[in-house]
Amino acid sequence: MQPLLYIDDPAQAAALLQPLRLDLLKRMGEPTSCPELAHQLGVPTQQVNYHMRILAEAGLVCKIDERRVRGTVEGIYQARASSYWLSAKLVGRIGLPRTESELSLGYLLSLAEDLQHDIANLASEDDPPASLGLSMNLELNDPARREAFLKDVQRLFQTLARKYGATEQTRKRKTQPYKLTLACYRQPEQGPQK
């Protein structure tokens, strides 16, 4: 099972986004059969068979084995991935336009879409590369303080780029470049739990 399946095909997304199919996928971390899933969910096996066929045709589950039970052949299925991500490109940009202003929400959304796409591509590799993450909370309520913080971060990025950026020497060694993305946003208030 791969760690992540990035879905950018509308037909594949449509196959996924059905409540019973989502319930089935959540129970398929381990190999299982349609009758076992039907018993867990309290629905007819034929109903599970129908939805399993759609999930398999969409490439969301894999038939990994089969066994003979009372004169019939029963498929053993497993989810193809432990996480399924829907691409923002499935809908495309409708509201906030892509903008180059680093202080806009549209720019942050563009960075998030790029980050999601890059991570999905890396996760699909046979040997995903090492990565790292960093998160922190800041007090940036004043607009002047936000702009000052942005300038400080830009200087720091430039310093890091000079220190760790690709040089003629590293290009000759054919090293793999890394990408650094920084996103800063107001922490959303926690709404009521659903």
Report the phi/psi class of residue 70: left, alpha or beta, with left for phi > 0 and alpha for psi in -120 to 50: left
- CATH match for 5-84 among 1.10.10.920, 1.10.10.10, 3.40.50.2300, 3.40.1160.10: 1.10.10.10
- pLDDT tens-digit map of 43-83: 999 999 999 999 999 999 999 998 888 888 889 999 999 88
Tokens of 12: 């594949």
Task: Find the helix packing angle between 19-26 and 34-41, rounded to 10°.
Answer: 110
The per-residue pLDDT string of the chain (194 residues; one tens digit each, 9 = 90 and over) reads 888 888 989 999 999 999 999 999 999 999 999 999 999 999 999 999 999 999 999 999 999 998 888 888 889 999 999 889 888 878 766 665 555 665 566 777 777 888 888 888 787 777 777 777 878 888 888 888 888 988 998 899 888 888 887 666 656 666 677 777 777 666 666 655 54
- 45, 118 contact by CB (below 8 A): no
Domain spans in the chain, listed from the N-terminal domain onward:
5-84, 100-172
| 161-192 core/surface letters (b: 16 or more CB in 10 A; e: else) | eeeeeeeeeeeeeeeeeeeeeeeeeeeeeeee
pTM of structure: 0.66
CB proximity list for 59: less than 8 A, separation 6 or greater: 12, 80
Taking the C-alpha atoms of residue 175 and residue 10, their distance in angstroms, rounded to an integer, is 36
Task: Name beta bridge partners: 56.
Answer: none
